[in-house]
Each structure stands twice: as C-alpha cells, then as structure tokens.
Structure 1
Amino acid sequence: CCTRNNNNSCCSVTNHAYVVEPTTAAPRCCYTDDDDNSSTTSSTELFLHSVAEHRIRCSEIVFKSGYMGPQNRLGIGGYGEVFKASWLGTPVAVKRLFDHRGCDSTIDFAHEVSLLSRLRHPHVVLWMGVIVEPSELSIVMEYMDRGSLSSVVHRRTPDGKTFANTLTVAMKMSWVHDIVEGMAYLHGRGIVHRDLTSNNVLLNKKGQAKITDFGL
C-alpha cells in the first residue's frame, strides 16, 4: 500500500517542539538502503530497534482507493502529506514524510516516536504507531473527522457567511478549555509546542479539540 515511487538530562529541539527529558533519546542514525556500508547498516539497525515496538506493517494499512492518492489526502505541508486510511478497521490519519534519508530527519523521526509513544490525553491527538520501510517513514495517528479548527471556522455557510460568524460563546469556550487542558498536559511533561495555531488544533466528530504537530 505504500509503494509510492554528560549529565542526567538534555534539551532537544525539533521543528516545532522544545523538549526537556532524560538522556534516553533514540539512537542518532541515518536510515538508508546502502547495505554495503557496515557503519550505516549498524546505524539503520539501531534505528529500527528503537522503533520496533511501535511499528505497524504497511500491509495493515488500507486506503479507500487501494493506494495513497489525492482522493485520500487530508493535507500537505513542508514535512510531508497526510492521508486518510484504515488500520485494523479503525479510521486513521497517516502522516508520510517527504525526506527521511538524511541523518537530521531520521533523528527527528526517532525522537518523535520516543516522545509521542508516551502521550495519552483526551485533548492530544492519539498516536498509534509508525510505518518504516526502505521508501517510507510514516506516522499513524487518530483520524479527526472535522479537520483543523482553522478550516472549520473559515468554512462558509450556505448564505455565504463564514462559520466563525455563527459560533456561540459556549462553543468558543469549549474549544479554549480543550486546548488549555491539552497544553497543560504537554507542559507537565516538559513539552513546549512553539507552533500552536488553529491549523494544529483538530476537531473530532463530537467537536472536541485536540492538539497535534508538536514534533515533526
């Protein structure tokens, strides 16, 4: 389905998140197909070992059209694309990274796996696992039916008004409450988002807000 051609603590910085945590970070390695280089192969093995317990087989991911295509795409950004799929009968979002061959992107990916696997909160998008293939590094996450808060509030009603004009105080306060709860949870674990925008807040079918994209 994924065939598309010194001390006790440290501070780690990813694209969007600043994290303070114990020095148990994932191995710093490159992920590549060059098996002729023994040091690279060793690094690849270390990386695969670091994410082994979180791996999801590519064959377990099912797309409605049978493959990753525009009809399944939920969004696209500088880091990669997000697609809607199904995993073991459960709707999921698959975040496929564009460029994972370099050391920096692989380090960030391994770090995000280490970070996200420990997070469980009603207002943080649920992380489910990773797909690791020679041509594929993807993160499998909870599917949020209504999309981003930004897309919802800017959506137009049949009479041409934006949905933002129809929001009640109760709806706004509910989202604020959800976001504050999620951020408090992250801060309690030493994670500072650094890119909290309405694009990085997703809504489920019940209208509950959940925070996402504080790693890659």
Structure 2
Amino acid sequence: MNRKDFFRKGLAKAFSVMEEGVNEISETWKTATEEKGSEDPDTKKEESPSSEDSIAIPLPKPEGKKFKGFRNLQFPPGADQTGKRFFSKCTGCGDCIYACPYSVLFPVPDDVTGKHFPRMDVNLNACMLCEGYPCISSCQTGALKHYKKNESPKFGKAVGNFQHCINSRTGEKTCEACAITCPIPKVVNFKGNKPTFSKDCVGCGQCVSSCPTFPKAILVK
C-alpha cells in the first residue's frame, strides 16, 4: 500500500467515526425533545406558580393612633405636681423660658387652649436647680411658686441601665460621673461598681447629662 492510499483510508475512517458521533447526538437530542413535548399539560399547569402561591406585596398598614404630643415632659420648677394650678394660671407668656439661663424650658403647643405652655425634658437638657430659681421669679401669674424652706422640686427619679454603664463593661469602678455631678448629697451610691439612686433623687437630669455613654446608662422617669 502506497502512502497516498494509506492517508485516504485513514481520513475515510476518521470521517466515519465523526459521522457516527453526530448521528448519536442528534438521536439523543430528538428523544429528549419528544419527551419534553409529551409532558402532561395539566402537570405543567400544576407545577407553574398560581396567583395564590406568588409573592404577596404587603399593603401599607392603616395608621394607628394619632400623635398625642411630646413624651416624658416635666413641668417647670415651681409648678404643682399634678399641673392643675399650672395649667389654670399659665398664660403662655414665655417669661420663664426667657429667664432660664440654661435654655432648659421650651414652649409646647396645646391644641385645646391654643396656648404654648413651658415644659422641659431633663433627659435631653438637665435642670440646673438654679439658686433663687429665676424661672419662678419671672412668673407673674402664680403658675410657678417658690418652694418652701427645705422643700425640693420633684421632676422624677433617675433609673440606671447598668448594661450601658462603663463600669459594667470594664468590670471595675471606672466612672463616677453621675455621683460627682449630682447636686443632692448621698443620692448616688455604689454597690461595688454599680451606681444606685436613692428616693431623695429629684430627677433634675444632671446625672443623665454627665453620663458619657451612648445610649445613656441613666434615665429620669
């Protein structure tokens, strides 16, 4: 056999193998296509997601109760604890607001009377318990009255949230800011490294302002 015949027969055999492979692939593809086309349409319908199974888009929730005003507000120094006298005599003039040297008081609108009553939030801005209480002295209507001898204001009581306290994180008595800034003697006491607040607390909020953590480890309620 010469070289020319050898190459001719080799190429013929190679093409024969390729043709068999192509035919086999074609048959496989044809069979798969027929099987797919012969699927039960009812079965396909069941497998397709229905409107009930589709993802539901949440509708906006109806509005709840309307906003009823500010929360956790305190009356100014010199107001009665119930606020009955305060609301009946306060004209909303704002003199006490301007008299406060620390800008603790701010006007809060009242929809019923149309007045703007002075209020404060000691968790945001502490009352400094000024000597002589200039806010009380500025009031000319009797809505705010000076305290009697040995009488103290009562805005609330400090409550600790020890998990946010620096001492809780360090395990030691690292911080004493609340005790140092408290204007009332022996109100802040420590049990180990945990600060506690006695019933003599007036709720001025100075301990809250001095607390270096965020969220605050102290809250006046």
Q: Could you say whether these structures have the same fold, taking a TM-score greater than 0.5 normalized by the shorter chain as the test?
A: no
Q: Give the TM-score taking structure 2 as reference length.
A: 0.24
Decide which structure has greater strand share: 1
